[in-house]
Structure 1
């Protein structure tokens, strides 16, 4: 009789015990701090962990980091995806009609200058004649056009996660010490 009760108990609960969570892939192309600081470290991993905790086993959120161009192809070719840390402007969806959008974070680009040589930023025109440190592979609305025209000099910044080391790649040869001075 005891074995029959155990069998009945297992049959009733087996769908719940054996149920596997639905896997949900989250995609990002932001592979730099603060979004990704290293292996399993950064805001993106924090978001994935939070979603997994809050879903209480119903879903298993996983992260896939793709270069932007590959992500753009995925969006066109695959109907099932979720992109984190995105902006409608960056995906040509100004009126939010092509995709479903959910805001969880307010983000902004910031212009930083020395106190001695402060810049009163009123738009890309404020940077004419100056050098602009830009993350490699990133686009800057309004600024990129002025760089192409030669009105702003752009130097590329590569951030190496976890080390917080910034390496500068410039067309002209001059030392990193001069740049940091």
Structure 2
């Protein structure tokens, strides 16, 4: 729509996340690409750059990954707090902490698998990845939305929009 209205090409925010073959692939190359780039350049890369001389490449890789996910979780908690103005449940933060540690573990497992040979075929790895994201998402993310009442508020907004369109439609129809 932006390209049509403004004549400008917009970078995509997602790249078929349902085809993710790993959590690393999901978070780094398929889900919310703009935020991934921002977090990579502001959290992950500075940690790697400044702490590698102290801790070594391997440990700063894992520290950078987990810290990036923690920051993302805190940002989500902050956004929910500003919308709800209620006590935080920290479920969103736990979602990102779990995913951060799982990505760090996945990096280690991939390195070991490269040395030993066989890798999971996408027919197996894609459902495992998407399933893991969905299960943890429903468990920690979606329940937060339900607790917040976002589903009810969304339905109320859709009903209000429907009512507005019903009132405006006859006038628009006459003009067309």
- For the superposition of Structure 1 and Structure 2, which TM-score range results when normalised by the shorter chain? under 0.3
State the TM-score, normalized to the length of structure 1.
0.21
The structure with the largest strand share of the pair is 1
Larger radius of gyration: 1
State the TM-score, normalized to the length of structure 2.
0.21
